[in-house]
A and B are shown apart, each in its own frame.
Chain A
Amino acid sequence: MNRREFLKISAALGAAGAMPTLLGGCAARPLPGSGVVTGSPTVCNLCFWQCAGTLYQEDGRPWKVVGHPDDPHCEGRLCTRGSAGIGAYVDPDRLRQPLLRVDEGGGQRFRPVSWDEAFDFIARRMKAIGEQHGSDRMALFSHGDGGEHLRRMLQAFGSDAYAHPSFAQCRGPRETAFGLTFGEGVGSPDRTDMAHSRCIVLIGSHIGENLHNSQVQTLAKALDSGATLITVDPRFSVAASKSAHWLAIKPGTDMALLLAWMNVLINEDLYDREYVARHCTGFGQLARHVQAFNPEWAYLETGLEPSSIRETARAMARAAPATLVHPGRHVTWYGDDTQRCRAIAILNALLGSWGRPGGFYNQEKVDLPEYPAPKPPKPASDWKAVVQAEYPLVSTGISNKLVEHSVGKDAFFKGWFVYATNLPMTLPGGVEQIEAAAQSLELMVVVDTMPAEITGYADVVLPECTYLERYDDLRNKPERTPTLALRMPAFEPAHETRPAWWIAKGIAERLGLGEYFPWQDYQEVLDWQLKQVGSSLAEMQTLGVKRFPRKGAVYLDADNPLRFKTPSGKIELYSSLLADIGQDPLPRYTPPDRPPEGYYHLNYGRAPAHTFGRTINNPQLFELMPENAVWVHPAAAAGLGVGNGDYVRLQNPEGTRSNRVRVRVTQRIRPDSVFMVHGFGHTDQRQRLARGVGADDAGLMHNVKLDPVMGGTGMRASFVTLVKAGEVS
């Protein structure tokens, strides 16, 4: 890479340094922590793992955020992003006051308005929608804690439709598949018992770059205690670099490998006979089904040596049942995702790892009663029957479907609330449809902390304060040990920003629905709830985190005959529910699309320094990783005539071009793929650090594959080539 780049930054710093220099310089800074230090509990919101921590201030100035030692999500250690939480608070580009779209001087612009004006506007439009189309026509997109308050407000209004991108763009397939197989999903945080695993199989799942905190910590623990790691990834991921076996699979062919593994386990009699006999149905059908799929067959599809397929299958069996075939998390890849996740579920069942130490454990949360408030009315219609009837197995909203049903005059949805999700960069290839929806909708309200791309489509932008400036619901997640954690404000909300609970209540009151929010301040709700479980807000303000006793066993109780929540009460290797709706009851392999000549698989993933696009403008994290790079294998780079540090644009077969992005030539990627970190390429000019740096993957996705079972968007079937972006300016 270019080792000798001229650094203007030093000049900038040099100038800043000149003044005290002339005055003779300053003395050393006082040692950190020698002033007055105060701490207050928080729950990190830099991603959705929700680690509990403490925000420390020294002499009244923000100092650091540190993980809470009693918290099972973080075990006292926040991740890279969590440690940079203060960056979200101090970001100078945050939204500051409510903005209203107005027509002025022949064009449109945002006018800063008071909260009253914003609320009145929203209430007026919502009432109009209710009168003209019905009160069931509002949709909520949410990916964050505060969304629950808005949801309650919309339910009170009569609209129940709700989608979070963490389903149809993320873990929907696996929740669906594990639900079909075991009767329960994996949940969040994932119920993987990696700390006790003797063998871990990661299929794509790039833990280490994916920085979900306790996932990383338990994987490290497993490695420390000598577990065998097997990583299936077309890229030499961080996890692959820690693995005993790296299977550099041809993209999109995982199903073939999974079937071959089953073939080996069954034909070499390596599966857990007793477990299968006791807990599973459909083994005979499965055994017959996989006969055709031996490692030699899989080799032709995956490019993986039959010997290494066998070897890894045996390694899994040796360690079973403490073998975790990790279910992955972002699994909307090639459209056959529910089926692939089913194959993973089945593999785990064959190894007997579900409900066993080192496999999947049983989670529990605290029985926390709801604050007494009126029940919202039953909505006038069943929106699911209108919007996602093709997916009867899905009980939650499919975000892409909600968008689809917002386009056009006759569309079902007439208004949106968008909370903490940046849809244009989140829905693959979805910008045009979002734009079309924005044209059709009668109201779009975006609640965000930053001027994200989605705010550009809004009628009203409502600035939420950051997590360090607000209360939210108690964190009560399923865990090994039931635990509550408190997020409380460490700072007054900056500028004119306000918390979601205040926003939801304010709008509800304008709508005449104040009775659904029968409290003045959300602290009342938290205190009431906590008192029901033997704590109080005051106690939690000092504790931050409180653990509660478990009721049931952590693992499958061998003595108690168990009923799984499937139709048969057993682990369904053969899925009766899928058969019922005309889908494959046993997973089948479909070869993926291959890139046209001169094109490469568009592979993408996470980098530890960032969470999607939401942290790029965080000054602390921008400083760590200011842009993304496109990874290119040396052979591909030679063919394309690009070198390290060159700026290129990515172009898909339909001619869509990305922003310019730097090339990283590396051995760590297959010659048929390019890789980039998702989240870069912000276009909103108000994000002064993030604007225009790096490329966005979502805009390049031209071949989105819908999952026939759960409606999610497969994002890995797109192709790009590289075009030179000209000299570095």
Chain B
Amino acid sequence: MIEEVLVTARYNPKVDPSLGIWTWEIAFYLFLGGMAAGIMLFAAWAVLGRRENALAFAHNRFALWAPVVLSLGMTTLFLDLEYKLHVFRFYTSFEPSSPMSWGAWVLVLIYPLMLVQTLSTLRTGYPTLAGLVERIPGGAVILSLCEHRRRLIAWLVIPLAVGLGIYTGVLLSAFSARPFWNSGILGPLFLVSGMSTAAVLPILAGAHPQERHFFEITDMALIAVELVLIALFLINLATGAAQHMDALALVTGGPYTAPFWLWFVLPGLLVPIVFELAGLRGYRGLGLVAGVLVVYGGFMLRYLMVDIGQASTWTDYALQFDPQLLQRLMQ
């Protein structure tokens, strides 16, 4: 029995009583970052596999979605910063030990790549847009060049998109200070989840049946892998040090048990995999529902990960006094 209490009232905002520095903004960014990575991968895959007919949507139209999705994510990331206008400071140095610094610089590389990937299929995917680009001096040349180098671009996309997808997980797992995050599986898990959320987009976007079929099967496989990774992730925590086991307890009996299992694993992974199966059997409506649930599940994964990670900690001091009272100091 150990009674550990704070003698002096300590309630540093966003740090006490438990970390609350990152909320939906970061979760949303991680979610969209993963999705963008997935989109790029599928678009590249379609190009490399020369599937412009079988996977017409992925081949021609999907690439444009990536910068849109990622930019949305960047917006919420920006919203999270305490110092909005100081975002440029990310680019005043490169810190090799900081995943966040890597992330900042990867984004610098990935944006141009996304752009050329988009341009490489723009004429087939979005002729009107391509027309606009052609009006810009040199636009047509660039479009042709990108089309010409389509496969090279796709080859470049693969490692960078994988990097982006994994990075969204590594960013969290690098924080050894948060036992729940501190697992090497988070990177692959976020990558697979990102791909899964990307995989359902063509289904939702109304791709033709053959393509839908491909993505439904792909997504089921991805979800299956995701389930395995989650199991590994939990086993990893279970076999870790005391604070890892404490972290695990948050989702196995602790306050995050219901959110984790009932709001994420069940509706975000298990239900969709079943519905997708039904979708394959011809219940197209269920397939669509599955798609929505997968997207939801992808977000929930990030949201809960961000939240639970912050609740898992090495320090665990009880408050003796009512922190609300300190508000009186601010009046």
A residues sitting closer than 8 Å to B (CB atoms) are 1-5, 7-10, 12-14, 16-17, 21-25, 609, 619, 622-627, 629, 644-645, 662, 664, 666-667, 688-689, 693, 728
Contacts and interface: CB of A to CB of B under 8 A. Distances in A.
A689 B18 contact: no
A4 B255 contact: yes
B327 interface: yes
Contacts of B322: 5, 626-627, 645, 662, 728
Interface stretch (B1-9, B92-100, B134-142): B1-9
Given A7-B16, A728-B322, 10 more contacts: A4-B17, A9-B324, A9-B327, A14-B13, A21-B82, A22-B85, A623-B329, A626-B9, A629-B321, A662-B320
A609 B17 CA distance: 21
Contacts of B323: 5, 7, 9
B14 interface: yes
A75 B217 CA distance: 78
A7 B83 contact: no
B3 A666 contact: yes
Contact of B318 (A3, A17, A626): A3
B281 interface: no
Nearest to A691: B328
Interface of B: 1, 3, 5, 8-9, 11, 13-14, 16-18, 20, 82-86, 255, 316, 318-331
A14 B329 CA distance: 15
Contact of B325 (A23, A25, A626): A626
Interface centre among B1, B84, B323, B328 (most CB of A within 10 A): B328
A644 B318 contact: yes
B17 A688 contact: no
Given A627-B321, A644-B318, A667-B1, A3 B8 contact: no
Contacts of B17: 3-5, 7
A8 B331 CA distance: 12
Interface centre among A9, A16, A629, A693 (most CB of B within 10 A): A9
B310 to A, nearest CB: 12
Interface centre among A1, A12, A24 (most CB of B within 10 A): A1
A1 B331 contact: no
Contact of B86 (A1, A7, A25, A623): A25
B259 to A, nearest CB: 14
A1 B325 contact: no
A609 B86 CA distance: 40
A1 B85 contact: no
B320 A12 contact: no
19 contacts: A1-B318, A2-B318, A3-B17, A3-B316, A3-B318, A4-B17, A5-B322, A7-B16, A9-B330, A21-B84, A22-B85, A609-B8, A619-B329, A622-B325, A624-B9, A625-B321, A645-B319, A662-B321, A688-B331
Nearest to A10: B13
Given A4-B17, A626-B9, A666-B3, A13 B328 contact: no
A623 B12 CA distance: 12
B204 to A, nearest CB: 36
Nearest to B15: A10
Top 8 closest pairs, chain A to chain B, by CB: A10-B13, A1-B318, A24-B85, A626-B325, A25-B83, A13-B13, A12-B330, A689-B328
A638 to B, nearest CB: 14
Contacts of B8: 609, 624-625
B13 A1 contact: no
A9 B18 contact: no
Interface centre among B1, B13, B18, B20 (most CB of A within 10 A): B13
Contact of B326 (A2, A623, A667): A623
B85 A7 contact: no
A689 B20 CA distance: 27
A521 to B, nearest CB: 37
Nearest to B255: A4
